[in-house]
Amino acid sequence: MSEIGIRELKAQASRVLDEVREHGARYVITKRGRPVGVLLPLEDAPPTGAAGGGGASAWSELERLGEEIGRGWRLPKSSGEILSDLRR
């Protein structure tokens, strides 16, 4: 798998994506020399919900947890109001 820096990817995104689509190329994306992600053909990606795949099931779980926390919320302010106050 080839490595590509984030700056190079930004400058050559169209060419790199063409290589991924047309030739099945895979890239490890780096930032300051450290790997931060992988670019690969969609067909090669882990199925949604698979370990490490995240996707829709991860969002569903986060929404479920948010609702559960909301049911037990006992403070006079909502979590959104508290975050807004902290940002000031």
**Domain CATH number, residue 39:** 3.40.1620.10
Rounded CA-CA distance 40/1 in Å is 10
pLDDT single digits (tens) 35-87: 999 999 888 777 655 445 556 677 788 788 888 887 887 888 887 888 888 88
Q: Does pTM top 0.75 for this prediction?
A: no
* CA gap 41, 31 in Å, rounded: 21
Residues 1 and 41 in one domain: yes
**Same domain? 37 vs 6:** yes
Residue 19 shares a structural domain with residue 29:
yes
> Do 81 and 54 sit in the same domain of this protein?
yes
Label residues 5-35 b or e (16+ Cβ within 10 Å = b): eeeebeeeeeebeebbeeeebebebbeeeee
Q: How many domains does the chain have?
A: 2
Contact 28, 2 (CB under 8 A): yes
Same domain, 15 and 40: yes
pLDDT tens-digit readout, 9-43: 999 999 999 999 999 999 999 999 999 999 998 88
Could you list the residue range(s) of the whole structural domain that residue 25 is in?
A: 1-45
